[in-house]
Amino acid sequence: MSAATPHLLPGATLGVLGGGQLGRMFAHAAQRMGYFTAVLDPDADSPAGRVSHHHIHTDYTDIDGLARLAGLADAITTEFENVPAPSLEHLAVARPVAPGAASVAIAQDRIREKAHFIRCGVACAPHAVIETAAHLAAVADDLLPGILKTARLGYDGKGQQRVATREALAAAWDATGGVPCVLEKLLPLDFECSVIVARGQDGQMVHLPAQRNLHRDGILAVTEVHPDNMPARQAELAVQSTRSIAEGLRYVGVLCVEYFVLADGSMVVNEMAPRPHNSGHWSMDACDVSQFELQVRTLAGLPLTAPRQHSPAVMLNLLGDLWFGAGDDTTAVEPPWADVLALPGTHLHLYGKTTARRGRKMGHLNITGTDIDAVRATADFAAAVLGLPIPLSE
């Protein structure tokens, strides 16, 4: 946050850079609480812009567009980490901005991100920074096999290549155009998890329970949250590490940090997202305060209350592949939503995207119930109806 901000009560206007699904769900949460919303996004048909009171159709670096947003909004947030940090800096001259440009800039660069994790005492996978040919030549042999990740603009598995030999590493780095990268050693993975925290302007911090995640092809597929989703010791370590990372940034807003739990029970941090996260969508139907309400509260300077989970939950990510079936179909067909919604405890959230494409995030399905066995059974059945891979867990 750029400066101390008084409470912004309902009736104020909250702005967001980015018009995707996270901005849409933020706008819904803000509007439910009585706020007006303004979205800046270059897409005239963006999901968030379609439901917001104001939609500014400009690029994120357009000075006139930013001025219009600052003129409409009493405080401004972002819904994705690759919004230009200088735009947030520019807005912060006129309006409170959370998260701030400095935090977003760190999250945009894996090299700076890992340095921050280390400063906070949070373990990373063994890795090497590769910015020059000399760095490439100096990579230790024991970092192979590994994953080469571009330092910037990587998400959902993009900008990543597995490499097993020095020759493959050199070819992979050359294929990036020689941009700054991080090589991470491949480690024996047991499972993945994440934690979402919200930190207010006054330093108060609350968190959602640790979330167990399953990824397919680098994209989150399933999140499961209940008291036994992972050992208590690992869950507590993930929570405390996330709180340390947020505190080290003097962060204001909602922050998600993802972790790898290794075969020996140890844990290393993967990456952070300075925004609500796909793995926190379950909170919309299984908690009394969702991650998006927490985003509203942190931006408006409202008190933070610890979210209480009232139901075990499974979240299924819904990609555009569901509209095309398992073959090479090119004609989109609406999935059988009525059959899914006939199942107890199902909550469908579609993002208002007008065109389905393979790999595109179109929505998510939350399943809640009285006990995790019943929830899992319903989730498995829903997955079968939709044609999603089963089983839903590792």
Residue 302 assigned ligand-binding role: no
Residue 310 assigned ligand-binding role: no
Q: How far apart are CA 81 and CA 54, in angstroms?
A: 22
Residues 6+ apart with CB under 8 A from 174: none
Nearest CA to 124 out of 177, 187, 181 is that of: 187
Residue 271 assigned ligand-binding role: yes
Residue 69 assigned ligand-binding role: no
3-state DSSP call for residue 161? strand
Residue 353 assigned ligand-binding role: no
Residue 392 assigned ligand-binding role: no
Burial of 66 (0-12, 13-18, 19+ CB in 10 A): buried
| Bridge partner residues of 260 (DSSP) | 192, 268
Residue 186 assigned ligand-binding role: yes
Q: What angle do CA 311, 312, 318 make, to 5 degrees?
A: 110
Please name the residue that has the structure tokens 């159709």: 57
Nearest CA to 266 out of 214, 189, 169, 379 is that of: 189
Residue 114 assigned ligand-binding role: no
E strand spans, the chain: 13-17, 36-40, 54-56, 75-78, 127-130, 146-150, 160-163, 181-185, 189-199, 205-207, 211-216, 219-225, 253-262, 267-273, 313-319, 346-350, 361-368
Is residue 18 left, alpha or beta, with left meaning phi > 0 and alpha meaning psi from -120 to 50?
left
Concatenated DSSP letters for 206-249? EEPPPEEEEEETTEEEEEEESTTSS-HHHHHHHHHHHHHHHHHH
Residue 253 assigned ligand-binding role: no
**Long-range contacts, 175-180 (Cβ 8 Å, 24+):** 176/148, 176/150, 179/150, 179/151, 179/152, 180/111, 180/129, 180/130, 180/131, 180/150, 180/151, 180/152
Residue 154 assigned ligand-binding role: yes
Residue 149 assigned ligand-binding role: yes
Residue 215 assigned ligand-binding role: yes
Q: Show the tokens assigned to 384.
A: 């079968």
> Contact, 278 vs 179, CB < 8 A?
no
Residue 270 assigned ligand-binding role: yes
Phi, psi of 45 (to 5 degrees): -115, 30
Residue 159 assigned ligand-binding role: yes
Binding positions for ATP: 110, 149, 154-160, 184-187, 192, 215, 270-271
Q: Which parts are annotated binding residues?
A: 110, 149, 154-160, 184-187, 192, 215, 270-271
